Amino acid sequence: MSIPRQIDADLSIEKKDKRRRLSLDKQEARAAFVFVLPFFIGFVIFGLAPFFYALYISFMDFNSFKSLDSLKWTGLSNYKAIFHDSVALSSYFKSFYYTVIYVPLLTAAGFTAAVMLNKTFHWKAFSRSLFLMPYVANIVAISIVFTMLFDPFGGIVNTVLMKMGVENPPLWFAGSGTAILTTALVAVWANFPFQMIVYLAALQGVPSDLYEAAEIDGASRWQRLTRITLPLVSPTTFFLVITATIGSFQNFTIFNALTRGGPGIASRVSSLNIYEEAFSLNHYSYSAAQAIVLFVIILLISAIQWGGQKKWVHY
Amino acid sequence: MGALLARKNLSTTLYSILMFIIALTMISPFIFMISASLKTTADAFDDPLAHIIPKTIYWENYKTLFSSPDYFIWIGNSFKVVVLSILLRGFMVTMAAYAFARLNFKGKSLLLFFSMSTLAIPSDTTVVARYLMYKYLHMLDTHWAIIIPAIFDVFFLFLLRQFFMGIPKEITEAAIMDGCSHYRVYFRIILPLAVPALLTMVIFSFVFIWNDFAGPYIFISSQEKQLVTVGIQYFSSIAGANYSLQMAGASIVVLLPIILFTFAQKYFVQGIASSGVKG
């Protein structure tokens, strides 16, 4: 008598458990809905929609003040116009030139600083926090300082250079050949701490017995750096190069603060040209088309970098 | 042995001094800025390297600054925007991150992939579209044009999701089995345990939103609604040739995030290291 009853009881517990599981699953699904929905709605409106809207506008004729109802579809004409616009075309080359200077310098600076800090020495924590400070600097405010420091006539940098006997010091931000380069240098100063911290974290992951073994085998400091450290942190380098490249094309703030595209249009990079077309000339559709082309260029460069990683990234 | 040790000590000391000098070079623009803000323009620029620590401190620049009503309004506006953005972002992003880290629901990985892929879209690509959208939503020239889009940030969603996944599952599962609702688990267990990650988010958000230029520059047009990063540019054109006054204006804008950073450096470094290595 007692045994079937026991089974009965077991069954009912199992049933109860199952029911409870089911209600837990239901509760989970409901909770997920409540937790995700607000974020998701906002994300669709403010994160996703602008991209598709930009794509849409780039095919319209919204190139002057007019109401949205009167817009007409113009196909690829905005895109075609870019290829006949020497200012727009050269702005892409200027952006590319900036990236080619900025990304290698930034990566090298971040790596060098990390290797130098990755030792034991006195006041290490203090020195490291000073190294980090440029990263939190307000670039617009600090640009006022850099503009004065690098003023070609009477700025500190050139005053010192002339005292040292340099007869024709560079014009820095005011020189058509040096404006982009000088801006890239300021950008490297402001952004290398990010690369440095990521490299420092990666260097902690390099096993120290590798260095010990190499030292016993008589490897020099330089050999240890190039044969052990560099290959072992190459996945980090890859990540940093890819993200820095994408970020380097978003340079509106720093160029607007330091050169405003000048002298003339010598440093009018693509981001500046996009803002200029949209907000000074009200060429919204044309500006959107230029922005989409910039996006495609960034995608292509990222894809090339992605494909090239087999050659030098060791996982 | 003693000689070797002494030599090692000496080289460590020399290395420490070298590193300290390099570190000072890194922050030399700040030093120059603060130094110039405490002098008259004439003193600051006639022989700028002569007295980095001024012989007599000249406070007039800061007095002029503090009596300029615009400057205060801009700082206040920036604080308002930063605080509201962080609060709302903290709320929305942690909720979604909890769901992505701990709950099972349909389309979860697709949704995550979708959100992550928007990180590859540069903000310049969408600036025209955003401008026109905000115009029709009547958000232009209001602080909401900066705050609302800042709330739905995918980067922090990913960062917090990573952190939540690291919290032992046993803790939350036991609570659920004991009949605790997901809302209670989120508020009472996950959020308190996630304080370090939340601090990382707070300090990063503060620095990024405070330093943002393009957003307020494009979307805010009234001078009295402007934020300080754009305001400082107006200010420097008004101050004109009064360079040391410009330096005083720049100093306050630069120093506020640096002070915050000095206190919360640990979370800042952890944040960068985790986002970088895992990304």
Rounded to 5°, angle at Cα A18 from A14 and A19? 120
Specify whether the CB–CB gap between A224 and A215 falls below 8 A.
yes
Residue type present at position B267: Y
Does the residue B103 lie in any domain? yes
Of the residues B30, B58, B86, the one at which a domain ends? B58
A-proximal residues of B, 6-45, CB under 8 Å: 12-13, 15-16, 19-20, 22-24, 26-27, 29-30, 32-33, 45
Please tell me whether the peptide bond between A263 and the residue prior to it is cis, using omega within 30 degrees of 0: yes
* Distance of residue B60 Cα from the nearest chain A Cα, in angstroms: 19
CB contact under 8 A, A122 and B276: no
Q: Torsions phi, psi of B174, nearest 5?
A: -60, -45
The Cα–Cα gap between A203 and A229 comes to 8
The Cα–Cα gap between B96 and B62 comes to 44
What is the residue extent of each domain of chain A? 2-57, 85-312
Q: What is the pLDDT of residue B278?
A: 41
Name the residue facing A146 among B29, B104, B265 (closest C-beta). B29
Specify whether the CB–CB gap between B33 and B254 falls below 8 A.
yes
What is each CA distance from A269 to A207, A283, A299, in whole angstroms?
Answer: 43, 17, 18
**Is the sign of the CA dihedral B99, B104, B105, B109 positive or negative?**
positive
Q: Is the pLDDT of residue A160 over 60?
A: yes
Name the residue facing B27 among A50, A130, A156 (closest C-beta). A130
B48 with B134, same domain: the answer is no
Tens of pLDDT, residues B59-90? 888 888 888 888 889 999 999 999 999 999 99
Does the residue B64 lie in any domain? no
Residues of B whose CB is below 8 A from A288 = 128-129
Residues of A whose CB is below 8 A from B265 = 129, 132
Q: What is the secondary structure of A22-41 as a DSSP string?
A: HHHHHHHHHHHHHHHHHHHH
Interface test with A, best of B105, B124, B190, B221 (most A CBs within 10 A): B124
Taking alpha carbons only, the member of A292, A296, A299 closest to residue A57 is A292
Taking alpha carbons only, the member of A106, A263, A92 closest to residue A177 is A263
B154 with B261, same domain: the answer is yes
Tens of pLDDT, residues A193-204? 999 999 998 898
For residues A25 and A99, which has the higher predicted lDDT (pLDDT)?
A99
Q: b/e for A25-38, b at 16 or more Cβ within 10 A? A: eeebeebbeebbee
B219 with B167, same domain: the answer is yes
Of the residues B58, B77, B100, the one at which a domain ends? B58
* Distance of residue B139 Cα from the nearest chain A Cα, in angstroms: 12
Specify whether the CB–CB gap between A93 and A73 falls below 8 A.
no
Name the residue facing A43 among B22, B115, B210 (closest C-beta). B115
Adjacent-strand bridge partners of A197:
none
B83 with B199, same domain: the answer is yes
Does the residue B151 lie in any domain? yes
Each residue's pLDDT expressed in tens, for chain B with a length of 279 residues: 567 778 888 889 999 999 999 999 999 899 988 888 888 777 776 666 666 777 777 888 888 888 888 888 999 999 999 999 999 999 999 999 989 988 888 888 888 888 888 888 888 889 999 999 999 899 999 999 999 999 999 988 988 888 888 888 888 888 888 878 888 888 888 888 888 888 888 988 998 999 999 999 999 999 889 999 998 888 777 777 778 888 888 899 999 889 888 888 888 887 777 765 443
Q: Is the pLDDT of residue A220 over 90?
A: no
Residue B157, chain A, CB below 8 Å: the answer is yes
Report the pLDDT averaged over residues A253-281: 91
CB contact under 8 A, B233 and A123: no
Residues of A whose CB is below 8 A from B243 = 148
CB contact under 8 A, A246 and B120: yes
Name the residue facing A252 among B12, B124, B186 (closest C-beta). B124
**Residue partners of A165: CB distance under 8 A and separation at least 6:** none
Q: Torsions phi, psi of A73, nearest 5?
A: -70, 130
**What's the whole-number average pLDDT of chain A?**
87
B73 with B43, same domain: the answer is no
B45 with B20, same domain: the answer is yes
Tens of pLDDT, residues A56-100? 999 988 888 777 777 788 888 899 989 999 999 999 999 999 999
Name the residue facing A35 among B49, B98, B211 (closest C-beta). B98
Residues of A whose CB is below 8 A from B111 = 36, 40
Domain that holds residue B8: 2-58
For residues A295 and A311, which has the higher predicted lDDT (pLDDT)?
A295
Superfamily of domain A85-312: MetI-like (1.10.3720.10)
Q: What is the pLDDT of residue B187?
A: 86
CB contact under 8 A, A295 and B125: yes
B43 with B110, same domain: the answer is no
- 3-class DSSP state for residue A73? strand
Torsion of CA A138, B134, B225, A144, to 10 degrees: 30
B274 with B219, same domain: the answer is yes
Q: Is the pLDDT of residue A168 over 60?
A: yes
Residue A125: which H helix or E strand, with range? helix A124-136
Interface test with B, best of A138, A158, A296 (most B CBs within 10 A): A138
Q: Please give the model's pTM, rounded to 2 decimal places.
A: 0.88
B39 with B111, same domain: the answer is no
Residues of B whose CB is below 8 A from A24 = 176
Name the residue facing A271 among B100, B124, B276 (closest C-beta). B124
Residues of B whose CB is below 8 A from A315 = none
In three-state form (DSSP H/G/I as H, E/B as E, the rest C), the secondary structure along B21-85 is HHHHHHCHHHHHHHHHHCCCHHHHHHCCCCCCCCCCCCCHHHHHHHCCHHHHHHHHHHHHHHHHH
Q: Torsions phi, psi of A183, nearest 5?
A: -60, -40
Q: b/e for A216-240, b at 16 or more Cβ within 10 A? A: eeebeeeeeeeebbeebbbebbbbb
* Distance of residue A253 Cα from the nearest chain B Cα, in angstroms: 6
B141 with B264, same domain: the answer is yes
B-chain residue closest to A117, CA distance: B19
What is the total count of domains within chain B?
2
Residue B208, chain A, CB below 8 Å: the answer is no
